[in-house]
Amino acid sequence: MAGTVTVPSASVPSTPLLKDELDIVIPTIRNLDFLEMWRPFFQPYHLIIVQDGDPAKTIRVPEGFDYELYNRNDINRILGPKASCISFKDSACRCFGYMVSKKKYVFTIDDDCFVAKDPSGKDINALEQHIKNLLSPSTPFFFNTLYDPYREGADFVRGYPFSLREGAKTAVSHGLWLNIPDYDAPTQMVKPRERNTRYVDAVMTVPKGTLFPMCGMNLAFDRELIGPAMYFGLMGDGQPIGRYDDMWAGWCMKVICDHLSLGVKTGLPYIWHSKASNPFVNLKKEYKGIFWQEEIIPFFQKATIPKECDTVQKCYLSLAEQVKAELGKVDPYFVKLADAMVTWIEAWDELNPSAAAVENGKAK
């Protein structure tokens, strides 16, 4: 671990939510100047920076942030041979940060994401909204037409069964993006000028049994509830695809949340996504994924996890097995990915021994 810095938080607003229970995970290859804009909101929290690419490079972190930083050498040293499950030269490497965090909650954000404004012109504290999302229940079992019934000024509408009004624990909060929308390369190419200007003032639960495209740009989750399912797969250097890391995690995570009756929310908060990535580079990274997703999504739509899987780890290992058996037929890449999924769980349990022990105790 390189460069742990702790600073007093004198300049920071009072009582930030979950200050000692949440880590902010940032994958990056550049100086983190984008943090300046986030200072009022992020400074009270601990950052875990996962440096991608050349480990010899020095990443500048603005003064006053409390952080730990890991480069590839750190990852290799900490995980040994199991480091093979962590992607290189792809923002998928961020999931290493989830693994080394010791906190209950994680918020992850890309370094090209800035503070957005709400329609009244006020800066949006994205992290605060994620925390609100995570700390209030979800409603995966029945749809509420007035969106999140736990928000102020809202409730369950007529016809919503009373037995379901306690909701489910929320495992994941998926935030959105103003300005540059999260489009694939073909859509970027066809609509180079499209900007997302629509502020939709809603948080909603993705219903049970429904898959969605989870984007890793602006995402928070409860590590204790779902952490081991948040593996971002094998992408980038030496792999046949990129830009499917968060999608992969989202599909796996959602199937497991559905099995364990956990909730997933999407909607607020928005961040300001500043710059579209190069669509030609993206197309190269994506094109196999564009074919494969036509088979991957039906696979996940049909996947069922055996009843006896009562921990995220067991669910995830069951999924890994199914990936190997079913998607292995689509391409040998998925055999490698399934093996990496197993390695990921082994590494997770090694770095999180107490959680693993609790899980094992629970399983008996």
Which residues are near a copy of itself by CB under 8 A? Answer: 119, 142-147, 151, 153-163, 174, 176, 181-184, 186-187, 191, 194-202, 206-215, 243-244, 246-247, 250, 266, 286, 290, 293-294, 297
User: Rounded to the nearest whole angstrom, what is the least distance from the CB of residue 212 to a copy of itself in the complex?
Assistant: 4
User: Rounded to the nearest whole angstrom, what is the least distance from the CB of residue 251 to a copy of itself in the complex?
Assistant: 9
Which lies closer to a copy of itself via its Cβ, residue 49 or residue 95? Answer: 95
User: Rounded to the nearest whole angstrom, what is the least distance from the CB of residue 301 to a copy of itself in the complex?
Assistant: 9
Which lies closer to a copy of itself via its Cβ, residue 275 or residue 362? Answer: 275
Which lies closer to a copy of itself via its Cβ, residue 76 or residue 196? Answer: 196
106 vs 249: CA distance, rounded Å: 15
Which lies closer to a copy of itself via its Cβ, residue 68 or residue 246? Answer: 246
User: Rounded to the nearest whole angstrom, what is the least distance from the CB of residue 173 to a copy of itself in the complex?
Assistant: 12
Would you call 347 helix, strand, or coil by DSSP? helix
Q: What is the dihedral of CA 230, 143, 22, 40, to 10 degrees?
A: 120
Residue 125 sits at the vertex; the CA angle it makes with 168 and 148, to the nearest 5 degrees, is: 30
Sequential DSSP letters for 280-306 = HHHHHHHHHHHHHHHHHHHHHHH----
| Euclidean distance between the first and the last CA atom of the chain, given in angstroms as a whole number | 35
184 vs 191: CA distance, rounded Å: 11
Nearest Cα to 72, choosing from 46, 60, 90?
90
Which lies closer to a copy of itself via its Cβ, residue 183 or residue 272? Answer: 183
Which lies closer to a copy of itself via its Cβ, residue 98 or residue 292? Answer: 292
Buried b (16+ CB within 10 A) or exposed e, 150-165: bbeeeebeeebeeeee
User: Rounded to the nearest whole angstrom, what is the least distance from the CB of residue 115 to a copy of itself in the complex?
Assistant: 20
Contacts of 105 (CB under 8 A, 6+ apart): 18, 21, 22, 23, 131, 134, 220, 221, 222, 223
User: Rounded to the nearest whole angstrom, what is the least distance from the CB of residue 231 to a copy of itself in the complex?
Assistant: 16
